[in-house]
Amino acid sequence: MDFSGIEPKAFDRNLFHMIDDEWLLICTWDEENQRMNMMTASWGGFGILWNKQVCYLFVRPQRHTHKLLEENARFSVCVLPEEQRAALRVCGRDSGRDTDKAAKTNLTVFKTDGVSAVKEADVICILRQLYVGELKKSGFLDPALLKNYPIDDFHTVYVCEIEKILKKI
């Protein structure tokens, strides 16, 4: 289970398929509970901003991950193989506030580049937050989109520098 670093421009996955169908796993350290937390995410993107290679993530304020992202400027986003779909569902349903998701899913937590990640991943992105901001109701130009926010829980957007991409070899 070794990983090697690859240049983001050499990353040859279809990003639309990866984010929308394979899903991302946001892995953050939980200092209070002394464990790693994992949250499934499928809204986000990869791109270029401020001449940097970045990853955009959108996290609702009620997620435990939201609090943990306030405490961890650096963290990882993992992409898991299809056989881990059940684990991804658990991480997208249960909250790390009251659940040790690593124990529940049997995923193997390890440290790389100073952040927590998952050994079963095919891809690990090491990220560093550059910008944090809240989506505002007044900014929505298509009112149909507001159906995503029945309780006005507008996402916080995180723009993160991609420090490194690790690929399983």
Ligand X SMILES: Cc1cc2nc3c(=O)[nH]c(=O)nc-3n(C[C@H](O)[C@H](O)[C@H](O)COP(=O)(O)O)c2cc1C
The contact set with ligand X (CB under 6 A) reads 23, 37, 39-43, 58-60, 63-65, 92-97
What the block records as the tokens of 67 is 């609090």
Which residue, 87 or 162, is less far from ligand X as judged by CB?
A: 87
Closest distance to ligand X from the beta carbon of 143 (Å)? 21
Cα distance between residue 64 and residue 25, in whole Å: 14
Which residue, 3 or 120, is less far from ligand X as judged by CB?
A: 120
Beta bridge partners of residue 156, listed in sequence order: 59, 134
**By CB neighbour count within 10 A (0-12 exposed, 13-18 middle, 19+ buried), where does 43 fall?**
middle
Which residue, 93 or 104, is less far from ligand X as judged by CB?
A: 93
Q: Give the residue at shortest CB distance from ligand X.
A: 92
| CB contact at 8 A, 59 and 155 | yes
Which residue, 59 or 165, is less far from ligand X as judged by CB?
A: 59
Closest distance to ligand X from the beta carbon of 104 (Å)? 11
Closest distance to ligand X from the beta carbon of 72 (Å)? 12
Cα distance between residue 72 and residue 81, in whole Å: 26
Closest distance to ligand X from the beta carbon of 60 (Å)? 4
Cα distance between residue 47 and residue 116, in whole Å: 23
